[in-house]
Amino acid sequence: MDLIHKFLNLVAPPFTFFSLCLFLPPFYAFKFFLSTLSSVFSESVEGKVVLITGASSGIGEYLAYEYARRGACLALVARRENSLREVAEGARELGSPDVIVIQADVSQVDDCRRLVNETMNHFQRLDHLVNNAGINSVCKFEDAGDITHFRAVMDTNYWGSVYTTRFAVPYLRNSRGKIIVLSSAASWLPEPRTSFYNASKAALLSMFETLRVELGPDIGITIVTPGFIESELTQGKHFTKEGKLEVDQDLRDVQVSVFPVGSVQGCAKAIVNSACRGDRYLTEPAWFKMTYFWKAFCPEIVEWSYRLMYLAGPGEPPTEAPSKKLVDLPGAKKLVYPSTIQTPQIKTD
């Protein structure tokens, strides 16, 4: 057995290199051809049923509006019922023929079963499932006193999508529907203080890549990996080490720094377009995909950069990090942050 592994250690790298040199050009030409066809013959969602979790704000809210403009029927899910009803009314005004509101917490398996059942009872079908619900956490690993507080991050971001998908799969298979899952560029970027959030998004990526194999051609899966997009997360809302949700814009400035924050409306439009084309992956804004290549080919540089820019000196608060000082330069926030995230006011019931 050891001889076999030694042989493969010698042979596998050059074989892979030369195989890829021969295989990749025709493969990418074929993919370009398929991409062109899918753009021309993109799916129409008019009259189809779309279930969106985390629809009361941010990307989920604007996904509801984008699907509504295209004539889709909507089942909107969130914990905040009053905010959800406001979104539902906006979706109706934009052209959705039928919208229902389901108050639910996706971290609870019974709620996930119920929200799928209520959607099916009302519409009798399901065509798109959008797993969007998520919460952020900002805390250095060693600063977490009771580490069990962070179960909520994994329960919402990961298990919420998994539970809902499990109950929706039989109906999506019948309609040959699609799953859109909101992972994040954080799934590959090792940004400090967001280890639990990053892990939950990486788990989503791996889970739904595996489901793409298991579910085969019956159900299409689009995995979305956004960068920084205007939402409550980039307003500074996050889960603290005490297990509470709070809005801290100074800490937000540390984490986002001078990265430009993308438009939520543009992001939602790109996601729906991508899902209708049947894309496997989408990174929005598109330039943020380059961070993946930096991480893949130069991980030491990425790690060193984060350590240098995002961590303050020993005993200093996070707000002393260079990343915060950069965004505090005169005019920086107006240049890179939309006005919507420059206020600490978030939606409440």
Is the pLDDT score of 52 beyond 80?
A: yes
Distance between CA 95 and CA 326 in Å, rounded? Answer: 43
Second-level CATH architecture of 43-342: 3-Layer(aba) Sandwich (3.40)
Give the N- to C-terminal CA distance of the chain in Å, as an integer.
63
**H or E segment to which residue 106 belongs:** none
From 255, 268, 231, select the one nearest 346 (Cα to Cα).
Answer: 231
Structure tokens at 207: 């889970």
Dihedral class, residue 58 (left if φ above 0, else alpha if ψ from -120 to 50, else beta): left
Neighbours of 28 (CB within 10 A): 11
pLDDT in tens, 257-309: 999 999 999 999 999 999 999 999 999 999 999 999 999 999 999 999 999 99
Is the pLDDT score of 38 beyond 90?
A: no
pTM for this entry: 0.94
**What is the percent of the chain where pLDDT is above 70?**
99
Distance between CA 72 and CA 128 in Å, rounded? Answer: 10
DSSP secondary structure string, 36-72?
A: HHHHHTPPP-TT-EEEEESTTSHHHHHHHHHHHHTT-
Is the pLDDT score of 348 beyond 80?
A: no
Report the relative pairing of strands 281-282 and 220-224 from DSSP bridges.
parallel
Q: What is the pLDDT of residue 280?
A: 96
Q: Is 197 in the active site?
A: yes
Spell 9-18 as b/e; 16+ CB within 10 A means b: eeeeeeeeee
pLDDT in tens, 59-88: 999 999 999 999 999 999 999 999 999 999
Distance between CA 57 and CA 51 in Å, rounded? Answer: 15
Q: What is the mean pLDDT of residues 184-197?
A: 97
Q: What is the mean pLDDT of residues 40-44?
A: 91
Pick the catalytic residue from 171, 197, 310, 337.
197
Question: pLDDT tier at 108 (50, 70, 90 boundaries)?
Answer: very high
Distance between CA 138 and CA 197 in Å, rounded? Answer: 8
Q: What is the pLDDT of residue 39?
A: 83
